[in-house]
Amino acid sequence: MAAAGDPQPEEFVYGEEDFVPQAGAWVDGPGSALSRFDRALLDGWSDRMERGFFRYRLGPLPTRLLPGPMRLVAQLNVQRGTERRPPQEVRSLRQPFDPRAFNFTRIRPGEVLLRLRRAGGGPAAPEPLLVAINASPLERGHVLLLPEPARALPQALTAPPLHAALEAVLLSAHPGFRVGFNGLGGCASVNHFHLHGFYLEQPLLVEAAPARPLGPQHGLSLLHDVPAPAFLFYAAGPAGLGALARDVCRAAEHLTDTGLACNLFATRGDPPEGPGAGGGRGLRVLLWGRRPRFGAKASAAFTVALCELAGYLPLPTAALYRDMSEAEALRAIREELLPEPQLLRLGRDLARLLAG
């Protein structure tokens, strides 16, 4: 039940006219122009910070690029390492939802910023989402994207809410607004369906690096020469996002069937061929298959989840932030991944699956 004086979420109804075909360029200064969606999210987020809804106050965070060709972004966030809720213990890739454990039916009503809904509805429309604060934020504007919590969905990718989350990326005019997903066994902290949305004021290599096609159909590619090789799906704009979300979820289900955990990262980026391929930037969706990690996730160590795989390293201690090198980070990241021959075989299997 809402407490007296709790702020109420904004009903955010959007249409085609709200999509931003090309986000602001990094050369213009990140955040130099914000969309209606950005303003609603960030204003609500700042309001909840002032009202004390977060576990800690978040100020500017020390950030540096690690020397090396991967351009890894290291950022120090001590409070997230010490103040966040302990992650849940994950025991399997298909662990059912447990109503006794912490879940998003327990969040305070004032933690919800927006009720995000596509105007018009219809069978092809994405699922409505709640945009709620992450009470232990990575960065300013860090939110959770949630389907109706009462549905009690476990943390496994499904297409309708993924479709809506991908549209949210295109509602932002900020080049650094990204969406991500940690699956069970892939460092998910809560077994209740959620995606992360956050702003990072730095470009990442995965947004421009070229990819190698894996099949003639569906545009599945292998993104290589990046911190963590990934399967790349690409859409030039919002029109194909429903089909893309279904393909991503079919691929993620295949990973689970083969005993692999998954992580996902969605961001503005160049076409798979790389910068200069024509047509401007669209939406890149990266999917990683990885060896699953079971048990409770450590909160004070360098853990490898969606951010680290994408080249963004939130670090919980000053010593890690000061001493981390690119070689050390890559070693830790690649310990979680498949050997290249197995990765290539998996890519061919996914290309056949999607073509069929």
Residue 232 lies in a domain: yes
Which one has a higher pLDDT value, 298 or 154? 154
Q: Which two structure tokens, joined as six digits, stand for 325?
A: 């090198």
List phi, psi (to 5°) of 171.
-80, -15
Residue 16 lies in a domain: no
- Quickly count: other Cβ atoms within 10 Å of residue 335's Cβ: 10
Range of 219's domain?
55-355
Q: Among residues 159, 162, 148, which one has the least CA distance to residue 192?
A: 148
Residue 1 has a pLDDT of 45
Residue 233 lies in a domain: yes
Task: Name the catalytic one among 142, 163, 174, 194.
Answer: 194
Cβ neighbours for 33, distance < 8 A, ≥ 6 positions apart: 24, 173
List phi, psi (to 5°) of 132.
-120, 155
> What CATH number does residue 170 fall under?
3.30.428
Q: Is the pLDDT of residue 29 over 60?
A: no
Burial class from Cβ neighbours inside 10 Å (0-12, 13-18, 19+) for residue 231 reads: buried
The pLDDT tens digits of the residues spanning 144-163 come to 999 999 999 999 999 999 99
- Dihedral of CA 93/99/105/111: which sign? negative
Q: Is the pLDDT of residue 299 over 60?
A: no
H or E element at residue 114 = strand 112-118
Residue 234 lies in a domain: yes
- Torsion angle (degrees, nearest 10) of CA 298, 300, 306, 310: -140
Residue 279 has a pLDDT of 73
Residue 217 has a pLDDT of 60
Q: Which two structure tokens, joined as six digits, stand for 260?
A: 């692999």
Give the C-alpha separation, 310 to 329, whole Å. Answer: 12
Q: Which two structure tokens, joined as six digits, stand for 304?
A: 């490898």
Per-residue H/E/C for 31-75: CCCCCHHHHHHHHHHHHHHHHCCCCCCCCCCCEEECCCCCCCEEE
**CA dist 214 to 147, 219, 274, 334, Å?**
32, 8, 16, 21
Q: Is the pLDDT of residue 210 over 70?
A: yes
Residue 180 lies in a domain: yes
Which one has a higher pLDDT value, 127 or 296? 127
**pTM, 2 dp:** 0.95
Residue 298 has a pLDDT of 55
The pLDDT tens digits of the residues spanning 173-184 come to 999 999 999 999
Residues 288, 309 contacting (CB under 8 angstroms): yes
Residue 49 lies in a domain: no
**169 residue type, one letter:** V
Total domains in the fold of the chain: 1
Residue 241 lies in a domain: yes
Q: What is the largest CA-CA distance in the chain?
A: 59
Q: Among residues 27, 12, 348, which one has the least CA distance to residue 203?
A: 27
142 is catalytic: no
Give the C-alpha separation, 3 to 101, whole Å. Answer: 23
Under DSSP, the state recorded for 275 is T
